[in-house]
Amino acid sequence: MVRIKINNIEFLVNSNLSVLEACQFVGVHVPRFCYHETLSIAGNCRMCLVEIEKSPKPVASCALPILNNISIYTDSPLVKKARENILESLLLNHPLDCPICDQGGECDLQDQTKIFGGDYSRYYINKRSVESKPFGSLIKTIMTRCIHCTRCVRFSEEIAGTSSFGTLNRGKNTEIGGYVSNIFDSEVSGNVVDLCPVGALTFKPYAFKARPWELKYQESLDCTSSLCTPILISVKESEIVRIQPKADPELENVIISDKIRFIYDSVKKNRIQQVFKKNSNNNFVSENWTLFSDTIKNIIQNKQKITFLVNENLDLKSAQFLKAIESKNIKIFNTSNFSLKHKNCYDSSYFDKIHNINKKIRTCFLVSTNLKVETTLLNTKLRLKFNKTSFSTINTGNFYKSNYPTSFINLSTKNIIKLFEGKMSNSYNLIKQPNILLILGNGLEKKITETNYLVNFFKKICPTGVVIQNQIYPNSVGFNFLGINSLKNNLIKSTNYFFCINLEDNIVIRKILENKNFFWYNTHGSYLASKSSYVLPGLTFLENENLYMNIDGLVKKTQKILPNLKDTQPCYSVLKIIFDEEISDNSKNSVELYANKNILFKFRNNIKISDKISTFVYTSPNKSIIENFYGDSILSKNSIILSKRVQEQRRNSHSTF
């Protein structure tokens, strides 16, 4: 701790802070353009100038470290005049197009000019114009507005790990653009717009749609990832026009993936809006929920075997209801990952939390996972750690393009176990490392019956190591918690009816349901929907309040953003219509309580858990489950914005320069 003075008031602050950070810590506002908490220091906008005692000139506070007994002045006449001159120079070539700029109302340059700028300009020569650069279908560029803060350049290099942005030319001819004409190909490319303090970078889908004062802001969760990070949703009347990130202290940065940022347009595209029944002529006719309920109740009363097929996108409340009513004639199975591991209970004591990835970790083992497409924000956290420390990554799986240096080792499942048992030559490298991060992917569960077996050996040879079980879907941990098993081949043949809830239309599900009687409950239409006996309309996570258990085992709740479409029903309400049964409030509360306390959860009903091994076994143990970042959910597949993005990526991968 050091003693400093800010505007003649004494404070005690940490010695490793800069002057700007110290002022921010004690609550003194210092304007800035180029400075950002997650990016490196540039010091080129000069807006954060402060006066230091005995210093002949004002100093950039973002680049000056704190010294003991230093005296800082942030509101002296010298500082006020310096800020006024800086803003006048920034506005020399800035166009006067605020009425048509999408950044209007949220522009830092607007706000700071009003507070710190002058009321007239001495510039009368024609302004300079800069050609706009193409960066794809997501980012709109008007580079004449650019003030050269280089936030986008540093974000591209440090966080995204690409060289899409750079500084071209020198002096008055300086421009921000790409060294090669190319799209900004990154899973987090949309965050560069949030960083831009002016209207040089904006969203193409959002262009000319709304103004900030017309919007209503609501908080919810990112249900396209297992992290379930908070998001801020902008709604104009009854339409979502924009999704932005909200601060999450666990990830230490404020970013979201492009998948959740641009998925909102699929909420109204290709939606199922009422109940349909297939008649004898193989044509669909409209029907109501009451007649459907009578149909399925007759099936249950006739003791026909019904299997509920669900995936890990299903909310926790509905999954618990299904598990509670499971009986001999009613079964529930998970189709997200046909695994050998049977999840009879969830015990999070084997795995660590994300915030345990501390600064002391220098080595990371990635086993059977591609974080870049499976859990983008966790991958970004490792990228930031690589920027700040000497951090090495070893991947035991298929080769893929990573945005930080990675050593790839081709190991079989048997050799992975030997590696952590200490029976291989590379095991010595594990033992001599004091702190190791081990991230296990879902693909490993296809070969190893019990992942805890591997974790126990790792903890023996590296007691201070951190183990994280990477999950893909928002409720994957919740399914482990509830003990929902994977589908087995012998049950497919003995099942009379399948009830499909929020399933993805893929080749595996099509083979299972081929020549079968099934009911299709989903939000969007698909090929399998046209083959079902009944088509039932569902709700997205933006239209209903749902509970999800994230990768850390914490229960989080989404908020209802949009009103329900015609005849649509949440999954939990549909199940209550069918079974006329409801789980008590005590049972619901126990889910949240036990999930946070990491206590073994037991159901009030007697549930038979099958101990047979699933016959759905993949031959490649170390292959990532998800390969298409934008095509892993029913919502992203129906998004026109993301479809254009996928087409751009394919053209870009085949182009040569």
- Separation of CA 613 from chain center: 33
CB atoms within 10 A of CB 62: 24
d(CA 4, CA 25): 12
**Angle, alpha carbons 156-153-389 (nearest 5°):** 60
134: which 2 tokens? Answer: 């193409």
The segment(s) of the chain belonging to CATH 3.10.20.740 are 2-90
State how far the Cα of 190 lies from the Cα of 641, in Å rounded to an integer: 12
- Kindly report the pTM of this predicted structure: 0.87
- Short-list 23, 43, 25, 24, CA closest to 34: 43
The amino acid at residue 572 is Y
Neighbouring C-beta atoms of residue 293, cutoff 10 Å: 16
- Amino acid letter, 415: N
**Which residues make Cβ contacts (< 8 Å) with residue 343, sequence separation at least 6?**
479, 480, 483, 484, 485
Q: How many CB atoms lie within 10 A of CB 604?
A: 11
pLDDT of amino acid 232: 95
Rg of the chain (C-alpha set): 28
In the chain, the amino acid numbered 524 is H
Query: CA of 556: how far to CAs of 7, 248, 365, 503, in Å?
Result: 43, 13, 29, 22
pLDDT at site 582:
43
pLDDT in the model for residue 612? 25
Interatomic CA distance for residues 71 and 336, integer angstroms: 60
Which of helix, strand or coil describes residue 309? strand
The answer to whether 337 touches 331, Cβ cutoff 8 Å, is no
Query: Do residues 341 and 450 lie in contact, with contact meaning Cβ atoms separated by under 8 Å?
Result: yes
What's the rounded Cα separation, in Å, for the pair 130 and 596?
A: 54
What is the structure's pLDDT at 356?
79
Phi-psi category of residue 71: left, alpha or beta, with phi > 0 → left and psi -120 to 50 → alpha? beta
The pLDDT of residue 593 is: 31
The whole-number pLDDT of residue 325 equals 84
Give the dihedral sign, CA 587/591/596/600.
positive
Residue type for position 401: K
Residue 452 parent element (H or E): helix 451-461
User: Are 522 and 272 contacting, i.e. CB atoms less than 8 angstroms apart?
Assistant: yes
For residue 168, what are the β-bridge partners? 175
Query: What CATH number does domain 2-90 carry, 3.40.1160.10, 3.30.830.10, 3.10.20.740, 2.60.40.1930?
Result: 3.10.20.740
In angstroms, how far is the first alpha carbon of the chain from the final one?
A: 54
Q: 207-233 as b/e, with b when 16 or more CB fall inside 10 Å?
A: eeebeeeebeebebbbbbbbbbbbbeb
User: Does domain 348-469 fall into CATH 3.40.1360?
Assistant: no
pLDDT of 448 reads 57
Q: What backbone torsions phi and psi does residue 516 show, to the nearest 5 degrees?
A: -115, 155
Q: What does residue 487 show for φ and ψ, rounded to 5 degrees?
A: -70, 140
Write the single-letter amino acid at 173: N
Alpha-carbon distance of 565 to 539, in angstroms, equals: 8
For Cα atoms 422, 426, 428, give the angle at the middle one, nearest 5 degrees.
60
| Res 435: pLDDT | 81
Alpha helices (runs of H) in 157-242, residue ranges in sequence order: 191-195
CA angle in degrees (0–180, nearest 5) for 270-272-275: 160
Beta strands per DSSP E along 482-567: 497-501, 517-522, 534-537, 547-549, 555-557
Give residue 406's pLDDT: 85
Give the pLDDT means over successive 10-residue stretches in the chain (657 positions): 93 93 94 93 93 92 93 94 93 90 92 89 84 90 94 93 88 86 88 94 93 93 92 94 86 85 92 91 90 88 87 91 83 68 47 79 85 90 86 78 82 74 71 81 65 75 84 88 79 86 89 90 92 93 92 91 88 86 41 31 28 27 62 87 88 61
Q: Yes or no: say if 51 and 73 are a contact pair by the CB < 8 Å rule.
A: yes
Residue 504: name the closest of 596, 411, 593, 631 by CA.
Answer: 631
Residue 506 has what DSSP assignment? -
| CA-based nearest residue to 320, from 479, 472, 474, 476 | 479
Which tokens go with 568?
């649509």
pLDDT of residue 337: 60
Look at residue 25 in the predicted model and tell me its pLDDT: 93
The type of residue at 221 is L
Give the whole-angstrom CA distance, residue 306 versus residue 329.
Answer: 6
- Helix and strand element counts for the chain (H, E): 21, 26
Residue ranges of the chain that CATH labels 3.40.228: 348-469
| Cα 512 from Cα 490, distance rounded (Å) | 11
